[in-house]
A and B are shown apart, each in its own frame.
Chain A
């Protein structure tokens, strides 16, 4: 197999063992970016020169026998909203406001320290406000499996770039499904960790009480490797948890015999289209074959969770964008400026109530669901991936309805703060990938990854790659 077919961990191992150089891997990615970028527009900017220079330094370190980090020499690319002091992030905007001072993302610092190489920055929805991948300023990001279709968003470039093998892993952000949706649409793994598991310091805020950095990769082991590097308390972020970070990779091989997989009895499976439902059923049969037990699960009032999340997200987004939006409204696209302004009209009491209700609703949800099962299994996106045209509604009246369909199964878990992982499980009739979503109790990322790793071992969905026609 050629290097572009390797996973992140396989590449890291090969560089360490001197079977390949970091320079060769970076050049392989740059060649693929040259082929794919005109078709899918996954990158906001490609950093070829600095990536090659970093690869040469990485290779010199290997030759010198210097201790190597777990991502040594591996090219990654991230949503263009993780700040570096040396550059101005686009944030998907025509006119991004300057970041205050010389802000540096803690996550990029952790990845640098682990030896990763940044090969470029990735396309995203304007200010991370949009689930489709449309972007009027950077150009729409397109789905590598079929370029008439959306990559989903808002971390659109992450899903598209990892699926097309343009980099080996990626960070995005997930405030309503913005990692899980593009992961599902593009056929890769997408993890939204527990709120507080990963630091927010130096990442563009959309809604700080809901935002979570997330991970794209092409194997559960790759996600585990990346999460092990980026997770953990950050003195720069008081919202980050001091809970111990487990060895995620070490737990992958424990299997899922006896694990209880819960299938929701309401809301999440309503209005799921037949194609998607069939793939979900197939995946449950596979998991059962691996020794898991499927159990029906009732849950308290899931239908309100998306609305509660909206109150937090829009109020906080309006607070953040208010001053810039007031002076630069014409620099926002119609849908984004309207959504950013929605919080200006949310009553302060409703915002505070949504915050105060959150711990109690979380407690009741976890107590009701986790008494019955170890993980939930539900759709990530209940419909086949739509086309760019079908979802290009701008700020029209149907905007809310279109958005609601896309985030129906993802946004509830942003309000609850629970970890969720999107796992590819086949293709729908239109030739686009579809996925199931695993949701666990707080800080249960290792369990979700264990299920995905077991599933991955007996299916080949993650080894399939889109090809240029």
Chain B
């Protein structure tokens, strides 16, 4: 996967008004973002190609459906 580079990070954070972020900080942030987004991409590749239509609001309901039966 391609890295998200520090120039892209700088453009994004400055567009949101965070002028305090310098080149060194942008490099660190780029490393963190790259690793995190790679995990999403890898997980997407493990599923079937197609529209991702699962409702994220259903997470609590999924937990409840999978709950340990009462003793």
Q: A residues near B, CB below 8 A?
A: 194-196, 209, 239, 241, 243-244, 246, 251, 254, 301, 304-308, 310-311, 314, 322, 325-326, 329-330, 337-339, 341-342, 344-347, 350, 352-363, 366, 370, 395, 397, 399-400, 417, 440-444, 446-447
A359 cross-chain contacts in B, Cβ below 8 A: 54-56, 58-59, 61-62
Asked if A446 and B71 make an inter-chain contact with CB atoms under 8 angstroms apart, the answer reads: yes
Asked if A308 and B25 make an inter-chain contact with CB atoms under 8 angstroms apart, the answer reads: no
Task: For B13, give its contact among A344, A360, A361 (CB under 8 Å).
Answer: A344
Asked if A338 and B35 make an inter-chain contact with CB atoms under 8 angstroms apart, the answer reads: no
User: From DSSP, what is the main secondary structure of chain B's interface residues?
Assistant: helix
Complex Cα distance, B71 from A254, in Å, reads 10
Asked if B12 and A441 make an inter-chain contact with CB atoms under 8 angstroms apart, the answer reads: no
Asked if A307 and B36 make an inter-chain contact with CB atoms under 8 angstroms apart, the answer reads: yes
Complex Cα distance, B46 from A167, in Å, reads 47
The minimal Cβ–Cβ distance linking B62 to chain A, given in whole angstroms, is: 4
- Name B12-55 residues within 8 Å CB distance of A: 12-13, 16-18, 20-21, 25, 27-33, 35-40, 42-44, 46-47, 52-55
Asked if B59 and A362 make an inter-chain contact with CB atoms under 8 angstroms apart, the answer reads: yes
The minimal Cβ–Cβ distance linking A453 to chain B, given in whole angstroms, is: 14
Count: A-B pairs, CB below 8 Å = 159
**A311-B39, A357-B54, A361-B43 given as contacts; is B33 within 8 A of A342 (CB)?**
yes
**A310-B35, A362-B59 given as contacts; is B28 within 8 A of A353 (CB)?**
no
A341 cross-chain contacts in B, Cβ below 8 A: 13, 18, 21, 25, 29
**A307-B36, A339-B32, A353-B40 given as contacts; is B66 within 8 A of A366 (CB)?**
yes
B13 cross-chain contacts in A, Cβ below 8 A: 341, 344-345
**A344-B13, A362-B62, A441-B67 given as contacts; is B25 within 8 A of A311 (CB)?**
no
Asked if A350 and B67 make an inter-chain contact with CB atoms under 8 angstroms apart, the answer reads: no
**A311-B39, A440-B68, A442-B68 given as contacts; is B28 within 8 A of A194 (CB)?**
no
The minimal Cβ–Cβ distance linking A430 to chain B, given in whole angstroms, is: 30
Complex Cα distance, B53 from A27, in Å, reads 58
B12 cross-chain contacts in A, Cβ below 8 A: 344-345
The minimal Cβ–Cβ distance linking B34 to chain A, given in whole angstroms, is: 10
A362 cross-chain contacts in B, Cβ below 8 A: 59, 62-63, 66
Number of interface residues of B (CB under 8 A): 46
Asked if A417 and B59 make an inter-chain contact with CB atoms under 8 angstroms apart, the answer reads: yes
Asked if B63 and A196 make an inter-chain contact with CB atoms under 8 angstroms apart, the answer reads: yes
A352 cross-chain contacts in B, Cβ below 8 A: 56
B70 cross-chain contacts in A, Cβ below 8 A: 244, 246
Task: For A400, give its contact among B20, B28, B59 (CB under 8 Å).
Answer: B28
Task: For A326, give its contact among B18, B33, B55, B68 (CB under 8 Å).
Answer: B18
B33 cross-chain contacts in A, Cβ below 8 A: 314, 342, 345-346
B29 cross-chain contacts in A, Cβ below 8 A: 338, 341-342, 344-345
User: From DSSP, what is the main secondary structure of chain A's interface residues?
Assistant: helix
The minimal Cβ–Cβ distance linking B17 to chain A, given in whole angstroms, is: 5
The minimal Cβ–Cβ distance linking A240 to chain B, given in whole angstroms, is: 9
Complex Cα distance, B68 from A122, in Å, reads 33
Complex Cα distance, B63 from A468, in Å, reads 44
Leading 4 A-B pairs by shortest Cβ distance: A307-B39, A355-B56, A329-B20, A444-B68
Complex Cα distance, B10 from A440, in Å, reads 42
Asked if B36 and A311 make an inter-chain contact with CB atoms under 8 angstroms apart, the answer reads: yes
Complex Cα distance, B6 from A177, in Å, reads 29
Complex Cα distance, B25 from A397, in Å, reads 9
Complex Cα distance, B57 from A209, in Å, reads 10
Chain B minimum-CB-distance residue to A444: B68
A sample of 8 more A-B contacts (CB under 8 A), given A342-B36, A446-B68, A447-B68, is A243-B67, A301-B43, A306-B39, A308-B43, A344-B13, A344-B18, A345-B29, A357-B54
The minimal Cβ–Cβ distance linking A445 to chain B, given in whole angstroms, is: 9
A-B contact pairs, 27 of them (CB 8 A): A244-B70, A246-B71, A307-B36, A308-B40, A341-B13, A341-B21, A342-B33, A345-B8, A346-B33, A350-B36, A350-B37, A350-B40, A352-B56, A353-B52, A355-B59, A356-B54, A357-B47, A357-B54, A358-B56, A359-B59, A360-B54, A362-B59, A400-B31, A417-B63, A441-B67, A442-B64, A444-B67
Complex Cα distance, B21 from A360, in Å, reads 36
B32 cross-chain contacts in A, Cβ below 8 A: 310, 314, 339, 342, 400
A337 cross-chain contacts in B, Cβ below 8 A: 20
Complex Cα distance, B47 from A359, in Å, reads 13
The minimal Cβ–Cβ distance linking B58 to chain A, given in whole angstroms, is: 5
Complex Cα distance, B14 from A80, in Å, reads 32
Asked if A194 and B63 make an inter-chain contact with CB atoms under 8 angstroms apart, the answer reads: yes
